Amino acid sequence: MKTTSVVLAAVLAAVVTTNVVVTLHAQVKESPLPRLVNKDGRFALFVDDAPYLILGAEDLMLGVESTWPRRPKVWLAMDYLNVNTVEIAVYWNQFEPQPGQYDYAVIDRLLTEARQHNVRLVPLWFATYKNGSQHYMPEWMLLAPDRYSHMVDKDGQAVDSPSPFATASLEADQSAFAALMRHLKEVDPQRTVIMVQVENETGTWSSVRDYSPAAQKLFEAPVPPELLRALRVKTASPSPNWQEAFGPDADEYFHAWSVARYVGQVAAAGKAVYPLPMFANCALRDPFHPGPPGQPGVPGNYESGGPTDNVLPIWKVAAPALDILAPDNYQNDPAAYLKVLALYHRDDNPLYLPETGCPGGARFFFSALGLQAIGVSPASDTTEPYLLGAEAGTQTGKLGAWEGSRMVEEFLTPWAMNFRLIGPMQREIARLNFDGKLQAVAEEQGRVTETLPFGSWNAEVAYGSLRYNHHAPAGNPKPTGRALVAQLQDNQFLVTGYFCRVDFRPAGAGSHRPVAEGTGQTPSAMIDGKWQHRQFLRVEEGTYENGVFKLIRTWNGGETDWGLNFGEEPVVLRVSLATY
């Protein structure tokens, strides 16, 4: 009888606990579901029913390969960066240590910490694919390679990459991902999680495709007709196989289709449970030197099968459950970096950078905004030794022992400057971009001026700020300048930037009068036989609070006589113009 009472008490306690948890969740007001909206070829990520700009950090900064107990240290870095969103990896081998047994503790902890720090989360599902390998599959899968199979190369050897034709792997991944999404739906009514990455840098390094018997049979079979229609392929055969349809590109296109189908089915399984926006990221190929014709996947060249720029249309057809195909942009060459932005900025694809990091690359955040990016998340695997190896006893500043390090000065600080400037008005920036009212640019070597057209006005940007000086800026020693101009009304603009000067000139087909240094002349244009001169009606420095511009002070005199100068301090101006 005593044993029965103990069991009954335990059951009642469990019921009470469950009811308390359910009640607590019921007390939290459910926020609108995040969603991607397309308008006239421009995209916005709506969070809480308004455009949202991701000012993120990818968790290479948080030690993506490290163990969970080390993570609390690095929230200091997130605070320093002024992020509003953190991308954080969820490891399949930790999430499902035994078949069908899911461990939600890490997810719940991350949600709690994110809410404490007032940031949103983008989970990265490290599952079948992580950088082309299957190293985050659970141990019970890795120990059964016959069932959860690897790819096979041309020589018949297994390679360190999962096969996209392993049905058992796909089914297990779908089940686990659906379980993750189901849990998020249950425990996150406030929508701390706003988007999810499905897998990580899919594809293969050591073989252009899978050459297993199952794969070869499909390679020799007809190409799916929906793909032929999408790519507008015309051949002599009404049902061509891959070689007949695509010639020297057949192997890579086949692999891209196969991997995209796999990832798309995993995404669809999760979306059926909880339809958050989802994306796949990509290890890029060099946009200028992709490799020898017919050999796109040779080892050491780039990862074959992932959503590289040459197979984006294939991924779009094969994986419709994915909302975004996103580039991990680590290009060191500025021209290549900007080319990648242009390639992934498509009418059918929102521009989002889930990983980015290169010397001097923080200024390209403005270039991405100029292409209507919905967000950027810098990442650097060079940060972990500093962030996680600092001695607590030597901490003095905001970042403690990390203060003054090369990593902080060259990587964290430029990104922190961007986010400190844009953060208070990220909602307004996202809305203006979505409405097509915003332009943003970054300094490039050898090009020190830009002209941004806004109807009856041209915004003229010159890099290399010289505050209170009439001499024209001549570029920065190292390109660091960036500028953002948005049209609030016909003759009113939001202007900000770093290390640059911004001025305005009346637009028109007539000639322009050069501004002679030291004369006090203003930018002018000959329009319909009459000179039109720019004048500043009002230049207001301020900040945004809850969507409202709050005036700090008014600029005039030497602050505006030669244009609007921006240095290293975060300054936001609201500028009203007229002509005389």
| Concatenated DSSP letters of 89-137 | EEEHHHH-SBTTB---HHHHHHHHHHHHTT-EEEEEEEEEEETTB-TTS
What pLDDT score does 411 carry?
75
What pLDDT score does 404 carry?
52
104 vs 419: CA distance, rounded Å:
31
Helix (H, G, I), strand (E, B) or coil at 538: strand
Q: What is the pLDDT along the chain (580 residues), one digit of tens a residue?
A: 434 443 344 434 444 434 444 444 556 789 999 999 999 889 999 999 999 999 999 865 444 444 444 455 668 778 889 999 999 999 999 999 999 999 999 899 999 999 999 999 999 999 999 999 999 999 999 999 999 999 999 999 999 999 999 999 999 999 999 999 999 999 999 999 999 999 999 999 889 999 999 999 999 999 999 999 999 999 889 999 999 999 999 999 999 999 999 999 999 999 999 999 999 999 999 888 776 655 544 545 789 999 999 999 999 999 999 999 999 999 989 999 999 999 999 999 999 999 998 878 899 999 999 999 999 999 855 444 444 444 333 333 455 544 555 556 677 889 999 999 999 999 999 999 999 999 999 999 989 999 999 999 999 999 997 766 777 788 999 999 999 999 999 999 999 999 999 999 999 755 565 554 444 567 887 776 788 899 999 999 999 999 999 999 999 988 998 899 999 999 999 999 999 9
What pLDDT score does 31 carry?
94
Residue in 73, 60, 59 with CA at minimum distance from that of residue 382: 60
Residue-range domains of the chain with CATH: 53-425 (3.20.20.80), 439-579 (2.60.220.20)
The residue assigned the tokens 């929230």 is 75
The CA-atom distances, in angstroms, between 438 and each of 84, 368, 373, 482, 483 are 21, 12, 11, 14, 11
| Greatest alpha-carbon span in the chain | 105
Helices (H), 132-224: 139-142, 167-187, 213-219
Residues 6+ apart with CB under 8 A from 529: none
Sign of the dihedral defined by the CA atoms of residues 429, 274, 92, 137, in that order? negative
CB 296 within 8 A of CB 309: no
What pLDDT score does 425 carry?
98
Q: Are strands 530-545 and 548-555 parallel, antiparallel or unpaired?
A: antiparallel
Specify the DSSP element, H or E, that contains 243.
Answer: helix 242-246
What pLDDT score does 8 carry?
42
Specify the DSSP element, H or E, that contains 336.
Answer: helix 334-344
Residue in 306, 304, 261 with CA at minimum distance from that of residue 170: 261
Tally Cβ neighbours within 10 Å of residue 370: 24
The tokens describing 165, both together, are 């034709």
